[in-house]
Structure 1
Amino acid sequence: MEIVTIWMLLYNTHEEISGTKHLVSWNNHLIPKFLRLKMDDEKLTEQETALYDRQIRVWGVDAQRRLRKSHVLVSGIKGTIVEFCKNIVLAGVGSLTVHDDRMVTEELLSANFLIPPVENVYSGKSIADLCCHSLKDFNPMVHVSVQKGDLLSFDVDFFGKFDVVVVSSCSLSTKISVNEKCRRLSKQVAFYTVDCRGSCGEIFVDLQNYIYSKGKADETVECLLEYLSFEEAISIPWRSLPRGLSKLYLVLRVIEQFEEIQGRTPGEISTADFLNVQKLRKELCQIHLLNESEIPDSLLQRLLAGGARESSPVCAIIGGILGQEVIKAISGKGEPLKNFFLFDAMDGKGIIQDISQVQAPETEFGMGSVERVENIL
């Protein structure tokens, strides 16, 4: 099934999140601040209109033009990011910059269909170089390029060249640093983190102060969502979070902290670390005044056993949802995710968890839609 059809299945599946502020206007669609792209009355070419015909029918010409004017940076290319890159290149963003200086290994080939499984083709080349070459074939109208260097060394102005920044497969401190640099810019840059660990996946979204439009043509409701940074969100005491908080959220925070303390790269962890991870869990639960039973051994062991491996079907689901969310953010159409999305293939559930206020509610992410995409894959 074409990716546009998958997006249509996922589109508008969110329930309204508590705390959303509504501003009513008539026949006036407000574009998000960070995406007030210069439209210049520039029309799509005949070639673009023909290529994007089906998706234009879904989100309209204006949204397609905003996509064409947008610039996206991704860092850390594994299976989920590969799926995401494919989706937005097919959607027709203006440019995509890929960053990952790692050399190709057998492990990194597991869910990355952009890299040819022939050693003499990828030998000595970085992941970003190989993926860039393959992505160009998906849509020649999108400019795809490679950025080299240490992500932490890039200054604030570097991130100002982009409208959307997506990071993956990096340390906790790197996520916090990049997010903080994006927030220091005078313009608003949409920031996302995404990771898959075995059968589980997580997306974090920071759109800062985001305004989007919803409603019919005769009456448009402008909605304001206020986001926390990644550091602010994960710093909220666990005891203050809702009773229905996803256990997966807590497990991921424990593993993330363990990797940071031990200086491990994400996924460089195994069942041999279980006792030490249990010890850290106990310490964190004491700090957060939370019962250890809220972070079950079974889920911890499952994620540790997965290590750095990714499941291709899970990557496809998470990458598809992330692609849809970025398109929503760029176009200003549809209610965006706020602010964590968690998926576990074992029960087939995707949950939106608003970790931005005490006793924030959780919303199941269109269970039927997720199952339908899973069946398609």
Structure 2
Amino acid sequence: MRKVNKPKSTDKVMIHLSLKIHPVNASWRMSSVSQMVINTPPHSYLKPKIGGCERFGTLDKSANVLVCLTRCSKDLMVRVDQLCASRNIKVFCGDVYGYHGYMFSDLGQEHHYVEEKPKVVKGSNKANDGPEAKKLKVDPNETTMVKKTVSFCSLKAALEVDWTNEKAKNNLKRIPVDYFLLQVLLKFRTDKGRDPQPDSFAEDSQLLLQIRNDVLETMGLSSELLPNTFVSYCFSEMAPVCAVVGGVLGQEIVKALSQRDAPHRNFFFFDGLKGSGVVDYFGSK
């Protein structure tokens, strides 16, 4: 995305959005995403600049400040994230697999933003006031903008967490199982060049179970961490899940560009079976 000088006749901001989409159903996806981007709320203009994955070598900081990836392989996403990091370009990734979906963001080593907080005011100093009146109080009718900075890690670091050390093992119970499911599905996409398909459910289910065993064994973890039933819920793309994940992804892109409000750091996972999502951070702190 590229910020453009504000038009003289309005206070709206023009932003160029680069969407890199896998060739699968590329024409339909590009036209759909383009129309959604154009129909954004009136407080901002978004001008989509859409291209296929093969054009990543032409990334130019002068023309982009943000890249959004979908339907891409793990290797491609890692490579693009590294390229963008060297040019100070923000990166978002997102996909939906059946009832499950995820979003990842890498906003760089230093992402600055502001948050609106209730203003803290001093109590009255009048002689007839008691000690309680002199304490600091929060005024709900007044707010102040607080500047903050947060750091993100690369996609490669986020996907290559060392689970063999004791600290990581002790945190396993609080780790969303969708993180490990994502690792399995990305490996399936790498091996087969596609996502699991309903018309080859039996074959793909067996392959998913085998990949699950291999991936978790490589991580030094038990295959029981991801129950066999996961294969029944990660085929196709469920429209309601797409709506949730796409909504969160769009929200985070706007927050990153406007530098307003705390961003999700760095993964968002949505479980359509539970009807809930979770934000969690993976990688170097």
Find the aligned partners of 2:284 and 2:189 in 1 and give their Cα distance: 26
Query: Gaps spanning 5+ residues in structure 2: where?
Result: 120-142
Tell me the residue number matched to 2:180. Answer: 250
- The aligned residue for residue 151 of structure 2 is 226
How far apart, in 2, do the equivalents of 1:133 and 1:343 lie? Answer: 24
Q: Is 1:74 matched up with 2:1? A: no
Do the aligned residues in 1 keep the contact of 2:16 with 2:47 (CA within 8 Å)? no
- State the one-letter code of the partner of 2:97: R
TM-score, normalising length: structure 2: 0.75
Q: Which amino acid aligns with 1:246?
A: P
- Are 1:190 and 2:135 counterparts? no
Is the contact between residue 70 and residue 94 of structure 2 (CA under 8 Å) also seen in structure 1? yes
Residue correspondences, number: 251
1:352 is aligned to 279
Question: Which of 179, 189, 195 is residue 266 of structure 1 equivalent to?
Answer: 195
CA shift in 2, pair 1:44/1:163, >3 Å = farther
Map of 2:263 onto structure 1 = 336
**By how many angstroms is 1:337 displaced?**
0.3
Asked if structure 2 preserves the Cα contact closer than 8 Å seen for 1:160 and 1:189, the reply is no
Looking at structure 1, the residues matched to 207 and 82 of structure 2 have their Cα atoms a distance apart, in angstroms, of 30
Are 1:288 and 2:219 counterparts?
Answer: yes
User: Aligned partners of 1:200 and 1:180: how far apart in 2?
Assistant: 26
Corresponding residue for 2:67? 165
> Per-residue displacement from partner, 1:85-121 (whole Å, max 9, x unpaired)?
xxxxxxxxxxxxxxx65557xxxxxxxxxxxxxxxxx
Q: Which residue type is aligned with residue 71 of structure 1?
A: H
Cα gap change, 1:101/1:293 in structure 2, threshold over 3 Å: closer, same or farther?
Answer: closer
CA distance in 2, matches of 1:288, 1:137: 43
Amino acid at match of 2:115: K
Contact 2:38 2:46 (8 Å CA) reproduced: no
Deviation at 1:200, TM superposition (A): 1.2
Q: How high is the sequence identity, in percent, across the aligned residues?
A: 21
| C-alpha displacement of 1:137 | 7.1
Q: Which has the higher helix share?
A: 1
1:276 to partner: Cα distance: 2.9
Displacement after TM superposition at 1:210 (Å): 0.6
Distance in 1 separating the partners of 2:145 and 2:38: 39
Q: 1:103, 1:180 → 2: CA distance?
A: 26
> Alpha-carbon deviation of 1:129?
6.2
1:13-162 paired onto structure 2 within 5 Å: 45=10, 65=12, 68-76=13-21, 101-102=23-24, 126-127=27-28, 130-131=31-32, 134=35, 138=39, 142=45, 144=47, 147-148=50-51, 150-155=52-57, 157-158=59-60, 160-162=62-64
Instruction: Pick closer, same or farther for the CA change 1:160–1:152 going to 2, 3 Å.
Output: farther
CA distance in 1, matches of 2:105, 2:66: 11
Which protein has the larger Cα radius of gyration, Structure 1 or Structure 2? 2
CA contact 1:200–1:343 (8 Å) conserved in 2: yes
2:255 match: secondary structure: helix
| 1:292-332 deviation line (CA, Å, top 9, x unaligned) | 211111123321xx2xx212111111111111111111111
Question: Are the equivalent residues in 2 in contact too, given 1:70–1:162 (CA < 8 A)?
Answer: no
Cα displacement (A) at 1:176:
1.2
Give, as a single letter, the amino acid of the residue that structure 1 aligns with 2:223. E
Query: Once superposed, which parts of structure 1, at least 4 consecutive aligned residues long, lie more than 6 Å away?
Result: none
RMSD: 3.1
CA contact (8 A) 1:156 1:184 kept: no
The structure-2 alpha-carbon separation of the partners of 1:103 and 1:38, relative to structure 1 and needing over 3 Å to count, comes to closer
Please tell me the residue identity of whatever aligns with 1:290.
L
Report the counterpart of residue 137 of structure 2 in structure 1: none
Q: Paired residue for 1:112?
A: none
1:206–1:339: 8 Å Cα contact kept in structure 2?
A: yes
Equivalent residues of 1:135, 1:144 under 8 A apart: no
Q: State yes or no: 1:207 paired with 2:131.
A: no
Measured against aligned partners, the alpha-carbon deviations of 1:46-72 in whole angstroms (never above 9, x if no partner) come to: xxxxxxxxxxxxxxx6xxx4xx23221
CA distance in 2, matches of 1:290, 1:152: 35
The answer to whether the 8 A contact 2:16-2:49 is kept is no
The answer on whether the counterparts of 1:191 and 1:206 sit within 8 Å (CA) in structure 2 is: yes
Give a deviation string over 1:345-367, Cα, whole Å, max 9, x none. 11111000111248xxxxxxxxx
Q: Which structure carries more strand by proportion?
A: 2
- 8 Å CA contact 2:265–2:279 kept in 1: the answer is yes
1:300 and 2:243 matched: no
CA distance in 1, matches of 2:259, 2:45: 21
- Give the C-alpha shift of residue 38 in structure 1: 6.7
